[in-house]
Amino acid sequence: MPSLALLHASQLVTLTGPPRARRGEELSELAIIPGGAFVASGGKITHVGKSTEIEKLCDAETEVINASGCVVLPGFIDAHTHLVFAGSRLDDYEARARGETYEQIAKRGGGIQTTVKATRAASEDELFALAKKRASWFLQNGTTMVEAKSGYGLTLEDELKILRVIQRIGKETPLETVPTFLGAHAFPPEFREDHGSYISLIIGEMLPRIAREKVAEYCDIFCERDYFDVNEARRILTAAKQHGLKLRMHVDQLTNGGGARLAAELGAATADHLEQTAADGINALAKANIQPVLLPGSAYALGSKKYPDARAMIDAGLAVVVATDFNPGSSPGPSMPMMLSLAVTQMRMSPAEAIAAATINAAASLNKVGETGSLEVGKLANFAICDCEDYRELAYWFGVSLVRDVFVRGVSISSSGGFQTAK
């Protein structure tokens, strides 16, 4: 396969370093090469350095990309999305504008249940078509890998349907996917008065089948008041671990219910949301080395004034991650550059910390740090070319995408609305 050479980047943001998550001062060390360049072949990076060095490696067969005046960085990795669903939550959106809260909407049958009804009614092919369109949104905004959750089926067959679609997106589009089972997202209407039976269904039927069919790498849960409490979450996640699934958790989003401490107790890969987490929860996560996944888009879309305390988490030595929480109800936005802006303006992260959190740290949270998340020899040639000369502009200019082109495994993805299959 002919090689590809990218030359003359104003800043090549490599994030070169140890194959692990970054914390503390490391979060600000982006390993930028001014006038940087690299060569990729077979979908992987083979050489990285100054353009003057890399040019010597090019021959007549090399495809050369001139990135003059541009920032080039690893493709964003979105470590928390709800990619596959049918319908919308426009009525909920308008109701919140009139003053109703997320909890009030859910109690009258809106919220997650609205999406469950629409998703159950959709066929697998219909869900795939919807998710494929959304995959192009992520790609156009520089995201090359997403973690994607089920959770809008809440029956065994509907959860399997969603997880199969997530796998298809990863195989049939350029967007890389990491599937997560979220059967414990909410109690479905048929079990509204019988929570114990639904938990038994998850533990006794869903988890064994999902593990057997290998359609998910992780198990997640919405540990929150009026959803799954700490004791219920412990039962479900303990069973998930016994079936070989790694753990992720929605915790402390609406209330400080002890979810962060439970994530620490169970050794989860991540604790996500954390808007309400206090010092004791942060300390527990730090002692257990759990990665916090911060979702500023959710706080923004819900009109909340309470964002996760990113500075306290960074000061505690936590390897923070920034993700979109893309979903139809509380964060209908796939733009990682927008999340960078919110991370800087609302969570007081520096632009460098936000970029590290959305690339190398996100890769580490998904156990993918050996293959992606930085621009280094041996890693996938997943990268974005941005129409700016300083990486800080990605968070500074908001409401407009500076992403000029995106490559997945060394193949260019059209940013015009469509894309070609790269694998």
Instruction: Give the CATH number of the domain where residue 397 resides.
Output: 2.30.40.10
Q: Are residues 84 and 60 in the same domain?
A: no
Confidence band of 106 (pLDDT split at 50, 70, 90): confident
| In the predicted structure, residue 88 carries a pLDDT above the cut 70 | yes
CATH number of residue 258's parent domain: 3.20.20.140
Q: Which residues pair with 12 in a beta bridge?
A: 33, 72
Verify that 93 and 159 share a domain, yes or no.
yes
Whether residue 398 is predicted with pLDDT greater than 80 in this model: the reply is: yes
DSSP state letter for 390: S
Number of domains in the chain: 2
Band (421; pLDDT cuts 50, 70, 90):
very low
Torsion angle of alpha carbons 245, 261, 257, 317, nearest 10°?
A: -110
Q: In 10 A of CB 409, how many CB atoms?
A: 17
Residue 105 lies in a domain: yes
Instruction: Please report, for residues 107, 168, 294, 409, the alpha-carbon distance to residue 73 in angstroms, rounded to integers and kept in the order given.
Output: 43, 27, 21, 14
* DSSP conformational letter for 75: P
- 244 within some domain: yes
Residues 98 and 49 in one domain: no
C-alpha dist (Å) from residue 72 to 123, 170, 366:
39, 24, 23
Domain extent for 25 = 4-74+373-413
State whether 158 and 47 are in the same domain.
no
Element (H, E) at 164: helix 156-172
Query: Which of 1-5, 8-12, 200-204, 256-260 comes out lowest in average pLDDT?
Result: 1-5
Evaluate whether 86 touches 122 at the Cβ level (below 8 Å). yes
Is 109 in the same domain as 170? Answer: yes
Cβ neighbours, 10 Å, residue 329: 24
* pLDDT for res 423: 43
Residues 379 and 361 in one domain: no
Tracing tokens 């029956």 back to the chain, one arrives at: 155
* 311-332 mean pLDDT: 98
251 and 165 part of one domain:
yes
What is the structure's pLDDT at 212? Answer: 98
Residue 406 lies inside a defined structural domain of this protein: yes
Q: Indicate if 201 and 288 belong to the same structural domain.
A: yes
Classify residue 418: in a domain, yes or no: no
User: 162 with 66, same domain?
Assistant: no
Backbone angles phi, psi at 249, to 5 degrees: -145, 135
Look at residues 344, 365, 386 and tell me which one is the last residue of a structural domain: 365
Pair (193, 110) in one structural domain: yes
Please state, rounded to an integer, the average pLDDT across all residues of the chain. Answer: 96
Q: How far is CA 210 from CA 198, 203, 219, in A?
A: 16, 11, 10
Q: Are residues 187 and 315 in the same domain?
A: yes
Q: Which of 87, 86, 92 is nearest to 104 (CA)?
A: 92
